[in-house]
Structure 1
Amino acid sequence: MQELGIIMNGVTGRMGTNQHLVRSILALREEGGVELPSGERVMPNPLLVGRDERKLRTLSTDHDVERWTVDPDLETCLDGDDEVYFDSQVTPRRPDALAKAIDAGKDVYCEKPLAGDFETALSVARRAERSGVKHGIVQDKLWLPGLLKLQRLVDQDFFGDILSVRIEFGYWVFPGHVQPAQRPSWNYRAEDGGGIVDDMFSHWSYVLENLFGKVEAVRCHTTTHVDERVDERGDTYDATADDAAYAIMELEDDVVAQINSSWTVRVNRDDLLEIQVDGTEGSAVAGLRDCKTQHRANTPRPEWDPDTPKDHRYQDDWDNVPNNREFENAFKQQWEQFVRHVVADEPFPWDFTEGARGVQLTETSYRSAEEQCRVLVDEVEI
């Protein structure tokens, strides 16, 4: 069995621990590694890297990971024989760390966003492309069961001509005065890289592009609805980052996407993320795991009459899309594909160019909000 050394930087955070280490790399190890087309298996061998010895030691002990090191500047670990560098640090630290790994000849895989601004993201993508290393960006939502079912409908031309997409995302994040917040305080400080546009619009970029088409223009309004919050130490702080964003995006082929993203909304829908797609032949609504459809032939005939009580439940007019397969963890599935890309040279289209596009959409959306205008999205050239 072949072994693949993976430097994992920043996995002491919630997502890095849960999704990338435990549910992806350690889960793959428990399954006996990643199977290649040849039938051979590759065993990921993680090296945990970070800045906090206590956290690293605890993580190593709790999950029986032998290799870890405190190496904030990556001077030692990048000199070793590990082939892959993975980064899930906070965004401001990511570009420099990726540049060091690329210059050391490591294949690189990282969380999004690729950088805090488009020019830096473009620079990192060009550096990786020129160096010849393999590079990939996490685009986990493409492997969510609900979106895989939506992709199945697109592939089978269920919608006919797609007309519009509506994305509703978010939930109420407690400010922390009475109940503790469910998200880290840095998310609400612009100076620390916080903001819902920074956090989510890289996701919307790849979701829209992979399922429905490239974004060609954006109108966006951002706001900070809750301007004072309480941090992890119980101290009150000024929330300087946007906690809600409302956008209209124009996609290729005249598809219109409406996107509401908010940490200040109380959920009255089936899931925290809901995507509705309307087409000439049918419509669908997808959540994280489920997806329901309504075909043209099964569409009821609504009539506007507010003076007459209605007992019709429109939700009952939809049919569930069956699973028809087993759905594994979304992060784990992309990790498997990246490992096969590195070792067996299988295709992997979700590279740093895609990551740069995500940052571009974020920056374009902020510009639209600041200038209060429609902004075109240019083609990214690496």
Structure 2
Amino acid sequence: MRTVGVVMNGVTGRMGHRQHLVRSVLAINAGGGVALSGGERVLLRPVLVGRNEGKLRDLAVQHDLADWTTDLDAALADPANEIYFDAQVTSARVGAVTRAMEAGKHVYAEKPIAESLEDAITLAKAARAAGVKNGVVQDKLFLPGLRKLQRLVEGGFFGRVLSVRGEFGYWVFEGDWQEAQRPSWNYRAADGGGIVLDMFPHWHYVLENLFGPVRAVTARAVTHVPRRWDEAGTPYDATADDAAYGIFELADGLVAQINSSWTTRVFRDELVEFQVDGTEGSAVAGLRRCRVQHRSMTPKPVWNPDLPATEPFRGQWQEVPDNAEFDNGFKVQWEMFVRHVLEDAPFPHDFASGVRGVQLAEAGLRSSAEGRRVALSPIDLGDA
């Protein structure tokens, strides 16, 4: 048994606290640590870092943690702290991650790794030059529904995949008469907000890992709700996009259409769903469930608007069994990254993949602004 210090910056926020601190790092320790290939187990010692001393102190007391500080450089100077994790607002990420790499720490960050493609490339090159392990959170790949979908792809269930259609979103309250479920910075462009920058990196790694590289994008990003209220109840102008409608072109003619919105009300089984259609079968996958309809079991509906629909369309699909126990996706990726740091285990979700996610977001925003299709060029990170 050994212990590794992990500097965790930004865990006073909702996602950093719930998913990364509580359901990942603390859950790993409660389960006996990360198991390495040689039988050794590793505990993680979180060092909480942030700007708000009161919030940090309260969080440390809540979880019985001894180590917290508002001095990032002091935390990075401790040789016992081998890993730096960043879940801050996007606009603060590049500077802090750069300081961590300069201190020789292995770096793991929430997506997007930067607000711009230029900054993302700079980070990836800096990580290579520093010789540090690096990773970006790509949690959707570890959701039970998408794990089942990947199983179908790898098993050849679809035949030739034709298209992907995704629906993501829910209504985020404006903050006046009901508290908003998302922080106000999400709706300010100057703070790195916007649903394109938030969600297109997700869609990139989902499409890339399940179906292949994205070659081009046509998108429309809009701000449907221009006025919102912040955490103090003060009204502000929403300057970032709160909905985006994208068409993504992949290899072999595969087309993906994904709608992303914080201004829609849910009439789906889950907050995100993907329908994949292929020559041999189709599937609908969400966060947890995945249902399929094979070619041999596909009914033959006939269009007749003069008669009410009587076919139970949803009932004609079959449930894909779990066939495995699915752990929290954030926790699974944390364990992968720790193994990557300590024994060089494979970890494909590096800063280079994070760069491609930012590239898609930037291309989507440019497509919307210029009203045209934008092709994605390969990115050469060199041997820096």
Q: Residues 71-150 of structure 1: matches in 2 within 5 Å?
A: 71=71, 74-81=72-79, 82-150=81-149
| Alignment partner, residue 34 of structure 1 | 34
- 2:102 counterpart letter in structure 1: D
| Alignment partner, residue 23 of structure 2 | 23
Secondary structure class of the residue paired with 1:246:
strand
Deviation at 1:310, TM superposition (A): 2.1
Question: For residues 276 and 65 of structure 2, what CA distance do their matches in structure 1 show?
Answer: 43
Deviation at 1:176, TM superposition (A): 2.1
- 1:119 counterpart letter in structure 2: E
Question: For residues 233 and 92 of structure 2, what CA distance do their matches in structure 1 show?
Answer: 26
Task: Return structure 1 stretches of 4+ with deviation > 4 angstroms.
Answer: none
| Alignment partner, residue 248 of structure 1 | 247
Question: For residues 251 and 332 of structure 1, what CA distance do their matches in structure 2 show?
Answer: 30
- 1:18 counterpart letter in structure 2: R
Between 266-275 and 229-238, the greater mean CA deviation after superposition: 229-238
| Alignment partner, residue 311 of structure 2 | 312
| Alignment partner, residue 55 of structure 2 | 55
- 2:216 counterpart letter in structure 1: A
Secondary structure class of the residue paired with 1:183:
coil
| Alignment partner, residue 46 of structure 1 | 46
Percent identity of equivalent pairs: 61
- 2:68 counterpart letter in structure 1: W
Secondary structure class of the residue paired with 1:76:
helix
1:296-337 Cα distance to aligned partner (Å, 9 max, x none)? 001010111000122111101100001111111110000000
The alignment status of 1:362 with 2:361, answered yes or no, reads yes
Secondary structure class of the residue paired with 1:355:
helix
The alignment status of 1:261 with 2:254, answered yes or no, reads no
| Alignment partner, residue 170 of structure 1 | 169
1:197-245 Cα distance to aligned partner (Å, 9 max, x none)? 0111110110110001110001001111111111111111111111110
The alignment status of 1:200 with 2:199, answered yes or no, reads yes
Question: For residues 9 and 173 of structure 1, what CA distance do their matches in structure 2 show?
Answer: 26
Question: For residues 41 and 309 of structure 1, what CA distance do their matches in structure 2 show?
Answer: 61
TM-score by length of 2: 0.98
Secondary structure class of the residue paired with 1:6:
strand
Secondary structure class of the residue paired with 1:285:
strand
1:41-69 Cα distance to aligned partner (Å, 9 max, x none)? 11111111111110110010001111111
Secondary structure class of the residue paired with 1:207:
helix
Between 171-180 and 251-260, the greater mean CA deviation after superposition: 171-180
| Alignment partner, residue 379 of structure 1 | 378
The runs of 5 or more residues in structure 2 that have no matched partner are none
- 1:186 counterpart letter in structure 2: W
- 2:111 counterpart letter in structure 1: K
Question: For residues 137 and 188 of structure 2, what CA distance do their matches in structure 1 show?
Answer: 24
The runs of 5 or more residues in structure 1 that have no matched partner are none
RMSD: 0.8
1:350-373 Cα distance to aligned partner (Å, 9 max, x none)? 000011111100000000000100
Question: For residues 253 and 3 of structure 1, what CA distance do their matches in structure 2 show?
Answer: 47
- 1:24 counterpart letter in structure 2: S
| Alignment partner, residue 154 of structure 2 | 155
Question: For residues 309 and 377 of structure 2, what CA distance do their matches in structure 1 show?
Answer: 48
| Alignment partner, residue 13 of structure 2 | 13
- 1:339 counterpart letter in structure 2: V
How many residues are paired up?
Answer: 380
1:110-131 Cα distance to aligned partner (Å, 9 max, x none)? 1000000000000000000121
Question: For residues 12 and 179 of structure 2, what CA distance do their matches in structure 1 show?
Answer: 21
